[in-house]
Structure 1
Amino acid sequence: MSITPFQALACPLDGKPLSRSDGAWRCSDGHSFDIAKQGYINLLPVQQKRSHDPGDSKAMVAARQRFLEAGHYQPIADAVSRAVLNHAEAQTLSSEPFSCLDAGCGEGYYLRQLADAATNALSLSLMGLDISKWAVLAAAKQDAKQSPLSSWVVGSNAHLPVQTGTLDSVLCMFGFPVASEFARVLKTGGVLLQVEAGPDHLRELREVIYPTLKPERSSEVEAPGGFTQHSSERVSYSLTLKRSEEIADLLAMTPHLYRASAEGRARAAALETLVTTVDVRVVQWLRV
């Protein structure tokens, strides 16, 4: 198994290729971006920020890290790794590593799971990007415990700092998809893999925090521009959380933390155990 950081980065200011030298990434126009001591790079210019500190907070990142490392979403990680590696194995005759971007990587859990699941015969080139500097910092710190496996980048899905047509796969895990940018950075025949909440996802938790549940949206989704649907898989199982701290971490890593009323959050905080449904769709789109 050969896993290396993805290298085909682009300047977020002018889109030109970036080259690494002397602890920084630079483009031909002289724009320079220092590599942080933790190993990540910030490619999110001020003009692309919607707030001073966009994305998940430090507390939300810590909650997600505790929850995911406990293995509660392991079946989702397994399904994603299988899907990506099936495409990578079909490309074994290529002399180039199979490149994969996790767009909205959080603290890097799914890329680490992918790296762990890869076989010795595969060569992967990985990159994790998130708009939250706290998420990318946590991912880089985890990665630093061993030889760096991925490029970790603070950036936006709306302006991916990636050279055009250089990726074999893009992951968007419960994130904010920008189909036009995903289509731009993927090679023809590349795969966009989206994980989205299904109709029963965390239903029992939602029944606790909301007075009523909204009608579910149709599961029929049109192919984004530049893509055609390849496959769709449902991952559904029952999850038992036995401590109030685990329930709090689950709520903290979802949008429901802010959508729920104070009363709803208080009802969730009073729970000591929770049995809830995990229900997600793993949808693969082919770049045409």
Structure 2
Amino acid sequence: MSITPFSSLACPLDGAPLHPQAGCWRCASGHSFDVASQGYINLLPVQNKRSRDPGDSREMVAARRRFLEAGFYHRIAAALAEAALTDLPVDAACLDAGSGEGYYLRQLAGAVPEGHRLSLLGLDISKWAVQSAAKREKRAAWVVGSNATLPVLSGTLDRVLCLFGFPVYPEFARVLKPGGQLLMVDAGPDHLRELREIIYPSLKPEKVHEAACPEGFELLGVEAVRFGVEVAGAALLADLLAMTPHLHRATPEGRARAAALTGLGLTVDVKLSRYVRRSGT
């Protein structure tokens, strides 16, 4: 197998192709973006930021890294890699849109079969997440950027991954080749139910509805990934809570109840949806 950094990047200011030069990437208009010492590129213009330091904090990124590296979500990563590699061209390119600290992209890289060449790009709005990812995996390209305006040339990707993230379907459709696939991982109704029952006074009934297929895509299938895990130790449970939206949604009393835990059995319940980019749209 051959894993290489994705290089079909676009200038976030005018959409023109970016070309690597000594220590930077530059477009024909002269816009230049330095390569950080960790090896990543910041392609999120200041005017596109909604805050001074958008995305996950350094502490949240560290918590996610510790929890994921403990292997609790390995089965999600394995199911995602299998789906992404199914019918993948021998020479292909893949974006993880909202890549965090790079766990799922690293797992995908490790599953690529011999004889295949896969160019990888991880993108996240959090500079702390991208810094962490770039330190650990040098074979991929890592970019600070936004799904709202992907700094990627149109029609250059075979796969787009979006896990527990913020999908922007028109942008995903733009950057995918016709026949390319979008793979989404979203929480199911029972995901981390045991933890939610502790931190919230009551759980709202799940709304059951069929989401419309995004414009420009056709649904290939939905796979349920469901299993149980035992999380032992207050530190790992704190890490899990810190990497979820529940950290900020819970009341102080709910967070205190979670902090008192020394172990917990949890249900992992996610759905893996596969869409194909239709031709001519």
What is the TM-score with the length of structure 2 in the denominator?
0.98
Residue matched to 1:52: 52
CA-CA distance at 1:122 after TM superposition: 1.2
Residue matched to 2:256: 266
Residue matched to 2:180: 190
Equivalent residue letter for 2:100: G
- The alignment status of 1:174 with 2:168, answered yes or no, reads no
Residue matched to 1:13: 13
Residue matched to 2:233: 243
CA shift digits 1:76-102 (9 cap, x unpaired): 0000000111132xx23xxxx210000
Q: Unmatched 5+ residue regions in structure 1? A: none
Residue matched to 1:108: 102
Residue matched to 1:282: 272
Distance in 1 (CA, whole Å) between partners of 2:177 and 2:110 is: 25
Distance in 2 (CA, whole Å) between partners of 1:219 and 1:102 is: 27
Distance in 2 (CA, whole Å) between partners of 1:3 and 1:40 is: 17
- The alignment status of 1:163 with 2:161, answered yes or no, reads no
CA-CA distance at 1:231 after TM superposition: 1.1
Q: Map 1:36-47 to 2 at 5 A.
A: 36-47=36-47
Distance in 1 (CA, whole Å) between partners of 2:121 and 2:53 is: 22
Distance in 1 (CA, whole Å) between partners of 2:85 and 2:40 is: 25
Residue matched to 1:61: 61
Distance in 1 (CA, whole Å) between partners of 2:3 and 2:124 is: 20
Equivalent residue letter for 1:57: S
CA shift digits 1:25-68 (9 cap, x unpaired): 00000000000011000000011100000000000000000000
What is the TM-score with the length of structure 1 in the denominator?
0.95
Distance in 1 (CA, whole Å) between partners of 2:204 and 2:24 is: 48
Q: Map 1:90-105 to 2 at 5 A.
A: 91-92=89-90, 97-105=91-99
CA-CA distance at 1:217 after TM superposition: 2.2
CA-CA distance at 1:219 after TM superposition: 5.1
Aligned partner (choices 209, 214, 223) of residue 213 of structure 2:
223
Equivalent residue letter for 2:228: S
CA-CA distance at 1:184 after TM superposition: 0.6
Distance in 2 (CA, whole Å) between partners of 1:272 and 1:61 is: 22
Q: Unmatched 5+ residue regions in structure 2? A: none
Distance in 1 (CA, whole Å) between partners of 2:223 and 2:36 is: 38
Residue matched to 2:131: 137
CA-CA distance at 1:220 after TM superposition: 1.9
CA shift digits 1:134-188 (9 cap, x unpaired): 0000000112xxxx21100000000100001110000001000000100110011
Distance in 2 (CA, whole Å) between partners of 1:35 and 1:27 is: 14
May I ask how many residue pairs the two structures share in their alignment?
278
Q: CA RMSD in A?
A: 0.7
Q: Secondary structure at the match of 2:109?
A: helix
Residue matched to 1:72: 72
Q: Secondary structure at the match of 1:87?
A: coil
